[in-house]
Amino acid sequence: METTLRGVGVSHGVAIGEVRHMGTAVLEPPAKQIPAEDAAREQGRARKAVEAVAADLIARGNLAGGEAQAVLEAQAMMAQDPELMADVDRRIAVGSTAERAVYDALAAYRALLAGAGEYLAGRVADLDDVRNRIVARLLGVPMPGVPDSDEPYVLIARDLAPADTALLDPTLVLGFVTEEGGPTSHSAILARALGVPAVVALPGAGELAEGTVIAVDGSTGEIFVEPSAEKKAQLESAAAQRKASLSASTGPGATSDGHKVPLLANVGGPADVPAAVEAGAEGVGLFRTEFLFLDDSKQAPSEEKQVEAYRQVLEAFPEGRVVVRVLDAGADKPLDFLTPADEPNPALGVRGLRSLLDHPDVLCTQLTALAKAAEGLPVYLEVMAPMVADRTDAKAFADACRAAGLRAKFGAMVEIPSAALRARSILQEVEFLSLGTNDLAQYTFAADRQVGAVSRLQDPWQPALLDLVALSAEAAKAEGKSCGVCGEAASDPLLACVLTGLGVTSLSMGAASIPYVRSTLAKYTLAQCERAASAARASDTADEARTAAQAVLSGE
């Protein structure tokens, strides 16, 4: 029987497929005794599970090749270690279940590795993965991590951290559904980057049985469990119509009466550039540079390595605008060489520009690398600082840019309410503003963007957040400077019209969202967008703001 659930839609499109669950860390098996006559059977179960896991690791290694193959083969050898298996057999012989014996034997092995010097201690994580895989097989629960599937599926998870997604194959993942997260969570951002439908903050998502067929509408946030043939046809028809509409919309971003709104791409490194170019991005509105620094949390990358990576992105947009955000370390992106280890609340501590000003050598190297990367290229380079709180911060950043010989526009991100409230003051030191609506919402409402329970307050349609956007845009207009949005709010086509009406001068988003925003903007005049913005700001809740804006744009 078809049932309907509702979460928060964060990535457009429709996905219909079977449920596969993201495996979680295996819980410790209960320590219960078995009768002596069951020992041989349990020993056989343990051996069979170990051999199956080892064979799976070797098969994965053969497919991956290279260094990954060596790592996976080493893990398989760990699983099959004769001394380990002998210890498992001994524990079963004195009354342990197969899963408890494996858990305890590997715990003892783990302790030996952890205390055997730096190199062997580094293998502990590999050993933990082996333990989790064997115990999961014995318990009959999903394997840890990404599901094993030869057929496309809809991924269900409590939440998706960046590390969880490293092995995801976008050709197999039809869509995401998560219990946690919000519109600006990592899982939402990843879904939009991959161009797959996604719904987050869905209570009880983990209770959907493995193999259940569901339909995910990433626009409305609806989940249809065991949808009827009629419902499937209806959803597929709507998706096909949207796709045709997107294909017909090309060229620069603009309203129907010709008001230009450049549509830029958010990129996290050179790998994201092809999708941005294919989507028709007019440049890059947010080039996140953390990817270079997170590879090694012990030290900053060399100037040469940075120059090479930056130039790859700059070369992809000749005559285009590329806005680079300098390193935003701290909070959920700690770096051993840069961020304090003992902060009680890292999100409110030494983060972003604050970290860089405490380590001017790191900032200077990055700015120098950007200057060298742009040499001789016909690109419009702009560089901005994250977490700017006031004019003092803005001046310190602009001074550092000039000292590094950077020939570019210097800007400030508006992610803290104080920056929006004092935007005109900040603009005395820098040449543009860029609104990071993800963090601006988080700090405005004291609502962690990774916590699904407060997703209502992370909604970028919140009128208070729209007020801060309007303040920033008005300040920029008064100073004759630009004010863009590079937060995920820009990826919502309806909200993109409202942001345009608030006076925002450019919109930057994940590449997959650009066609949706371009197509929607082209339907309305600037005056209609302004009326929709006024209606949204006059509302009291995010839902009311969305409904009011929709009513204006639909002529109701």
Q: Cβ distance 511 to 193 under 8 Å?
A: yes
Residues 6+ apart with CB under 8 A from 243: none
From residue 305, alpha-carbon distances to 300, 361, 373, 405 in Å are: 10, 16, 11, 19
Q: Shortest CA distance to 10 belongs to which of 188, 238, 205, 224?
A: 188
Burial of residue 76, with CB atoms counted within 10 A of its CB: 0-12 exposed, 13-18 middle, 19 or more buried: buried
From residue 1, alpha-carbon distances to 187, 224, 458 in Å are: 29, 10, 33
Name the amino acid, one letter, at 197. Answer: P
Give the C-alpha separation, 509 to 21, whole Å: 28
Q: Cβ distance 433 to 426 under 8 Å?
A: yes
Helix axes 82-93, 98-114, angle to 10 degrees: 130
From residue 245, alpha-carbon distances to 148, 208, 275, 510 in Å are: 35, 33, 19, 19
Return the active site residues: 186, 486
Q: Shortest CA distance to 536 belongs to which of 490, 497, 504?
A: 497
| Beta strand spans in 405-542 (E) | 409-414, 432-435, 482-485, 506-509
Structure tokens at 508: 């930057």
Q: Shortest CA distance to 384 belongs to which of 361, 360, 356?
A: 356
Q: How far is CA 13 from the centre of its chain?
A: 18
Q: Cβ distance 458 to 441 under 8 Å?
A: yes
Structure tokens at 343: 């902060």
Question: Partners of 435 in the beta sheet?
Answer: 414, 485
Give the C-alpha separation, 227 to 220, whole Å: 16
H helices present in 171-228, as ranges: 186-194
User: Which value, to the nearest 10 degrees, does the dihedral of the CA atoms of residues 193, 153, 184, 496 take?
Assistant: 60
Give the C-alpha separation, 300 to 362, whole Å: 7
Tokens 């318990």 -> residue: 139
Q: Shortest CA distance to 314 belongs to which of 386, 397, 408, 400?
A: 408
H helices present in 179-228, as ranges: 186-194
Strand, coil or helix: 338: coil
H helices present in 301-430, as ranges: 303-315, 353-358, 360-374, 391-403, 417-421, 423-426
Q: Residue-wise pLDDT tens for the chain (556 aa)?
A: 678 999 988 888 899 999 999 876 666 888 889 999 999 999 999 999 999 888 888 876 666 554 456 667 777 888 888 888 999 999 999 999 999 999 999 888 887 766 654 434 446 667 777 888 899 888 887 776 778 788 899 999 887 754 455 456 778 999 989 988 777 666 677 677 777 899 988 988 989 988 899 999 998 899 999 999 999 999 988 888 777 777 777 889 999 999 999 999 999 888 889 989 999 999 999 999 988 887 665 788 999 999 999 999 999 999 899 999 999 987 666 777 787 777 778 788 899 999 999 999 999 999 999 999 999 999 999 999 999 999 999 999 999 999 999 999 999 999 999 999 999 999 999 999 999 998 999 999 998 866 667 778 888 999 999 999 999 999 999 999 999 999 879 988 999 999 999 999 999 998 888 998 999 999 999 999 999 999 999 999 998 999 999 999 988 7
Q: If you compute the radius of gyration of the chain from its CA atoms, what whole number of angstroms results?
A: 26
DSSP secondary-structure letter at 28? P
pLDDT given for residue 71 in this prediction = 62
Q: Cβ distance 398 to 409 under 8 Å?
A: no
Structure tokens at 454: 């407060």
Q: Cβ distance 70 to 77 under 8 Å?
A: no
Q: How many CA atoms does the CB half-sphere of 411 hold within 13 Å?
A: 28
Name the amino acid, one letter, at 240. Answer: A
Cβ count near 212 (within 10 Å): 14
Question: Partners of 58 in the beta sheet?
Answer: none
Give the C-alpha separation, 460 to 486, whole Å: 12
Question: How many residues would you count in the chain?
Answer: 556
Give the C-alpha separation, 101 to 369, whole Å: 54
pLDDT given for residue 404 in this prediction = 94
Structure tokens at 132: 């989790």
From residue 400, alpha-carbon distances to 223, 329, 385, 393 in Å are: 50, 18, 11, 11
| Phi, psi torsion values for 284, nearest 5 degrees | -120, 125
Give the C-alpha separation, 182 to 160, whole Å: 11
Q: Shortest CA distance to 504 belongs to which of 489, 519, 518, 514?
A: 489
Structure tokens at 324: 């680079």
Q: What is the pLDDT of residues 340-366, one digit of tens each?
A: 777 778 788 899 999 999 999 999 999
Q: What is the pLDDT of residues 22-38, one digit of tens each?
A: 876 666 888 889 999 99
Tokens 């993965």 -> residue: 129
